[in-house]
Amino acid sequence: MLRTYFPGVIAMAAIVVASNILVQFLFGQWLTWGAFTYPLAFLVTDVMNRVYGEKPARMVVLCGFVVGVICSLIGTQIMGEFGPLVTLRIAIASGSAFLVAQLLDVSIFSALRGGQWWRAPLVSTLVGSAVDTILFFSIAFSAALTWIEPANDVSWAGEPLPLLGVGPVVPLWVSLAFADWLVKLSLALIALIPFRLIVRRLQPAAA
């Protein structure tokens, strides 16, 4: 049975590893390249849930979480220009956001699986993505949570700037979070196409 789920585990692991690498590279002023790969984790989770069920989907999520923790541990040992590539706050934020958001995605998808084919993946991904964004950026950069790692100076993230350069003045990390969420929103809509195609291929009756 594990062999059946293996492609899902590999896909999730590949997305997590790629996202951890690509998050180091900027795309424009507000995003990193990792913002375009990480949302695919929701696609993998939803396909597993639709084709194999809730339990296998949770197993794939837990495997992705373990891979993410390993990536974070490796990142803490790699020194960049301003210190370790992964700080304690980033590691906690990344792991917490991934686990909570993905498991929430699984639960919402399972609750909605009986409706129109697109409703479960769309709603679960939108809610999961929003929770993921809020948890990650607030834990990693909010001034209210500096007690998590007092030695880590993230004051730069609190610099007041117009939202995405044009809106009301907010801390920089809010603009980063909002841009990240917009990408996840767009990819949630686009991902409905590969979701439909993959599910039809793997289990025509489930589509």
Q: Note the pLDDT of residue 114.
A: 87
Provide the pLDDT for residue 137. Answer: 96
pLDDT digits (tens, 9 = 90+) for 53-107: 999 999 999 999 999 999 988 887 777 666 677 888 999 999 999 999 999 999 9
pLDDT at 24: 86
* Arithmetic mean of pLDDT over the chain: 91
- 13-67 confidence digits (pLDDT tens): 999 999 999 988 888 889 999 999 999 999 999 999 999 999 999 999 999 999 9
Domain holding 84, by residue range, is 2-206
Q: Looking at residue 26, what is its pLDDT? A: 87
Query: Number of H helices and number of E strands within the chain?
Result: 8, 6
**pLDDT at res. 73:** 85
Higher confidence at residue 167 or residue 177? 177
Total domain count, the chain = 1
How large is the average pLDDT for residues 186-203? 93
Q: Which residue has the higher pLDDT, 151 or 1?
A: 151
Task: Identify the pLDDT of residue 122.
Answer: 97
- Output the domain CATH number for residue 145: 1.10.1760
Taking the whole predicted model, whether its pTM rises above 0.85 is answered as yes
Closest CA to 158 of 145, 183, 23: 145
Judge residue 164's burial from the number of C-beta atoms within 10 Å of its C-beta, 0-12 exposed, 13-18 middle, 19 or more buried.
Answer: middle
With a cut of 60, say whether residue 204 has pLDDT above it.
no
Q: 15-24 long-range CB contacts below 8 Å, 24 or more apart?
A: 15/40, 15/41, 15/44, 15/64, 16/41, 16/64, 16/67, 16/68, 16/71, 16/98, 17/67, 17/71, 20/68, 20/71, 20/72, 20/75, 24/80, 24/85
